[in-house]
Structure 1
Amino acid sequence: MNAPAATLAGTIPGEHIRIAVNASTEPFWTAAKERRLVAPQCGDCGTFRLPPTPFCPNCQSKAVNWIELSGAATVYSFAVVHGFPGLPDLTLVPAVLDLPDAPGARLVSNVVDVAPEEVKIGTRLHVDFTPITDGWLLPIFRVASAEQARSE
């Protein structure tokens, strides 16, 4: 008898995900729609911040520069969720991610296409994008290939 296939982590189906866009977050979502990962950096003190906010939490400046990132990330913290309302077979690995190109900024996203037991603090990841409602793309993360990990 064959062993059951390992359950891989996924994400909530895109038709169930809606985002709110405002002046502070629109550059992030517009870049994601172009399959680019960006982070806001204070135009005065250089502090990165995610989620995007109208002003810098460090110096309160409203000056902001949107910096394109490489897409590299490292797992800072994570959970494994078995089942979701209406989707009992879905396994999620939501994670807090460090972004090496944006020191101090952390992004919450999903790690996908990996057996949950393989995700560890420090796992190197790389961004990908998945369609969601209203034509937007959601940043998700996959375990970095050996080549991606070497180039980071």
Structure 2
Amino acid sequence: MTLATALPGETVQITMNPVTEPFWEAAKDKRLVAPQCSQCGTFRLPPTPYCPECQSTEVTWTELSGEAEVYSFAVVHGFPGLPDVTLVPVVVDLPDAPGARLISNIIDIDPDDVTIGMKLRVDFHPITDGWMLPVFRAASN
């Protein structure tokens, strides 16, 4: 059995701008956050400079519990230059940020055990330049 993993940290680089910086700074502290419109309360991931509902530029960064649920996933056997890597890219629903979805990876699980609706918990994987990448693991029962 081959367990799903994240890409080796040194192969992952992020690009940051003022709109996304609070997300990455929180991840560096092992916290998962989502931008929430200060005017209408809409959550938005990925972060955008304005609210898609009311177009406000005012935002509050809300700390989330780290709980998630599989909305969609794929299984990738091999990656360019890393033929033995098995990845499970996932789109997750975040119950404490209604309407927001995050794209990430599920790690340390047999890909055959991943199902739509599966409960997950956030974890953080070190990547280049001291940053942390939010990834997910199956939630403990």
In structure 1, the residue matched to 2:22 is 27
In structure 2, the residue matched to 1:71 is 66
SS in 2 for 1:40: strand
Determine if the alignment matches structure 1 residue 105 to structure 2 residue 100.
yes
SS in 2 for 1:29: helix
SS in 2 for 1:30: helix
Of 38, 45, 60, the residue aligned with 1:43 is: 38
SS in 1 for 2:85: strand
- Measure the CA separation in 1 of the matches of 2:29 and 2:40: 28
Which structure 2 residues correspond to residues 2-151 of structure 1 after superposition, within 5 A?
6-146=1-141
Structure whose CA Rg is larger:
1
SS in 1 for 2:56: coil
Q: Which segments of 5 or more consecutive residues in structure 2 lack a partner in the other structure?
A: none
Q: Which segments of 5 or more consecutive residues in structure 1 lack a partner in the other structure?
A: 1-5, 147-152
For 1:113, the aligned partner's letter is D
User: When the two structures are aligned, how many residues end up with a matched partner?
Assistant: 141
Runs of at least 4 residues off by over 6 Å: none
Q: CA deviation at 1:135?
A: 0.7
Could you give the per-residue CA deviations for residues 61-116 of structure 1, whole angstroms, max 9, x where no partner exists? 00000000000000000000000001101000000000000000000000000000
SS in 2 for 1:49: coil
- Measure the CA separation in 2 of the matches of 1:98 and 1:66: 17
TM-score (norm. length: structure 1): 0.92
Could you give the per-residue CA deviations for residues 108-133 of structure 1, whole angstroms, max 9, x where no partner exists? 00000000000000010000001000
For 1:58, the aligned partner's letter is E
- Measure the CA separation in 2 of the matches of 1:21 and 1:66: 16
TM-score (norm. length: structure 2): 0.99
Could you give the per-residue CA deviations for residues 118-152 of structure 1, whole angstroms, max 9, x where no partner exists? 00000100000010001100000000001xxxxxx
